[in-house]
Amino acid sequence: GAARAPLARRFGPALMLRLDQALGHLGEEISPLAEPPHYGVRLTLPDPIGLYDDVMAGTSRLLDQLCARLKAQETGARKLCLTLRRVDQDSQTVELRLARPLRDPHRILPLFDRGVKEIEAGFGIDQMRLEATQVEPLPVRQLSHVSSGQKGQLDDLITRIGTRIGLENIRRFLPADSHIPERSFLVVPAAYSDPEGPWVALRPRPLRLFPPEPIAGSGARPPGRFRWRRMSFSTARATGPERIAPEWWLEDDNWRSGVRDYWQIETRQGRRLWLYYTPQAPGWFVQGEFA
């Protein structure tokens, strides 16, 4: 007790509490973390199956049970794993990554089509297991707009294509807060983003945008004739200029030449190009092409 008094005066009661807990003289209340819910269902078959229709029918039964559990927890599956155990104890798996959290068995079942067709059933399958390996919140909400069905169809299409090439390879354009052409949009995975809109386009923009490519020209007016990508062009109509200034608060080597005067050029050869002129460091460039 005498040795404790100086410690208590110097460091306060918190230190003494911890010492007593460390020596087992006092207990310490804890808040244990609850086990996360496990979303998995299993189907044991009395007779082995191997036909596509039978496997899909079993998958449908499993989906009904799994989606009921997901609905009770107001969650949706983002990743599903279907494991098929064969009579020789070997297992085949079909993994499905969804573009959006989903718990509608009628929408999920067709998405297993490709994977189930590739299954090697061997001498038969006697057990099926379906597990949601990744879930996300999916609260119940009223679907009263036509666009909801259209969005669901798009999500299912993204999922179907994603099973072939990977969800991360399906991308969409989103608007960005910049007036610089090459920084006015973002390219993000469609499965992990929501569309934004409407796009604000004060002036027409080309369908294709690429790094500036220099062409020969003199003066501030668009050249009547020029060569680009080893082809000759003659200007039929020019609309502009649209002056775009650099964002002075950002360092960008591509804009060190200063402001750009953009022109829409219709050529006699049928190509519609986006050209710009840099008056502070005279030069002409092609940066895009219209449809």
* Token code pair at residue 254: 């591509």
Closest C-alpha to 94, from 141, 60, 131, 62: 131
- For the chain, which ranges sit under pLDDT 70? 1-2, 141-149, 197, 201
* Token code pair at residue 66: 């799994």
Rg value, the chain, Cα: 32
264's enclosing H/E stretch is strand 260-267
Q: Which CATH class is domain 40-138+152-165?
A: alpha beta
Helix ranges (H only) for the chain are 4-11, 13-22, 52-72, 105-108, 113-117, 146-165
Start-to-end C-alpha separation, the chain: 88
Dihedral in degrees, nearest 10, Cα atoms 183, 188, 190, 193: -90
Distance between CA atoms of residues 76 and 96, nearest Å: 13
Q: What are the Cα distances from residue 17, in Å, to 1, 9, 30, 42, 277?
A: 14, 13, 15, 50, 75
Cis amide bond preceding 241, omega within 30:
yes
What number of other Cβ atoms are within 10 A of residue 108's Cβ? 23
State residue 146's pLDDT score.
Answer: 44
State residue 249's pLDDT score.
Answer: 86
> Rounded to two decimals, what is the model's pTM?
0.66
What residues does each domain of the chain span?
A: 40-138+152-165, 208-289
